Chains A and B, each alone.
Chain A
Amino acid sequence: KNEVEQSPQNLTAQEGEFITINCSYSVGISALHWLQQHPGGGIVSLFMLSSGKKKHGRLIATINIQEKHSSLHITASHPRDSAVYICAGDSGSARQLTFGSGTQLTVLP
């Protein structure tokens, strides 16, 4: 069974801090997605990566295929970054996503 585990479950930071959220996944997952979910349920795709590193603004995602581990970093965090961050692995012929349990991030002003 494909599994995705992420940590921490909850994270509180002060504005400006560097944030890291970690994700480990099992064999069989070929690409890793990082998603952001705001209150009310809307999910936005941040990154999809199967190797290396991607950067978009203050967000950086990395993946280590050998270790089956990915991290999402937020530099210079801001209260508007407060949301649930979810990693998800896609697998199988359907590429359906297997989701981690999410990290509730709260950035305090």
Chain B
Amino acid sequence: GAGVSQTPSNKVTEKGKYVELRCDPISGHTALYWYRQSLGQGPEFLIYFQGTGAADDSGLPNDRFFAVRPEGSVSTLKIQRTERGDSAVYLCASSLTSGPWEQFFGPGTRLTVL
């Protein structure tokens, strides 16, 4: 079956612009996670969805970051007024449900803010 997909694979934008990153989880997976990986570092948690609701958004760095999952499937991570420090690979993962389940990762979106 299809794995987790993310689009675009690469996004280059200018400082101050708005960007949207999309994640399409594995069908039937109710839990969806966004992580951010800066160069040379391990990923860091941003936000978690169980179904349609953001159950934990404690990892979002500031209010320029927002994510939605309106129908409990596809999720969009939105970044306003991008800054150079937002440049990173944004990873999405899904799992069957919350709990000690294996997380399946998408290929990531590489965001570069010039």
Q: Decide if the interface of chain A is mainly helix, strand, loop or mixed.
A: strand
Contact status A90-B110, CB under 8 Å: no
CB <8 Å contact, A96 and B102: no
Q: Which of B43, B45, B56, B105 contacts A42 (CB 8 A)?
A: B105
Interface residues on A, range: 20 to 34
Q: Which residues of A contact B31 (CB under 8 A)?
A: 95
**Shortest Cβ distance from residue A57 to the other chain B in the assembled complex, whole angstroms:** 17
Number of interface residues of B (CB under 8 A): 29
Q: Could you tell me the distance in whole angstroms from the C-beta of A65 to the nearest C-beta in chain B? A: 13
**CB within 8 Å: A-B pair count:** 70
Interface contact A95-B45, CB-CB below 8 Å: no
Which of A41, A93, A101, A102 gathers the greatest number of chain B CB atoms within 10 Å?
Answer: A41
Residues of B within 8 A of A30 (CB): 100
On chain A, the residues within 8 Å of B99 by CB distance are: 95
Complex-state Cα separation, A100 to B102, whole angstroms? 17
Mask for A56-96, Cβ within 8 A of B = 1, else 0?
A: 00000000000000000000000000000010101011111
| A95 lies within 8 A of B105 (CB) | no
Do the beta carbons of B48 and A94 come within 8 Å of each other? yes
CB neighbours (8 Å) of A48 from chain B are 100-102
| 16 examples of A-B residue contacts, CB within 8 angstroms | A30-B100, A40-B107, A41-B91, A43-B91, A45-B103, A48-B100, A48-B101, A92-B56, A94-B33, A95-B101, A96-B45, A96-B59, A97-B103, A99-B35, A99-B42, A102-B42
Interface residues of B (CB under 8 A from A): 31, 33, 35, 37, 41-45, 48, 50, 55-56, 59, 89, 91, 93, 95, 98-105, 107-108, 110
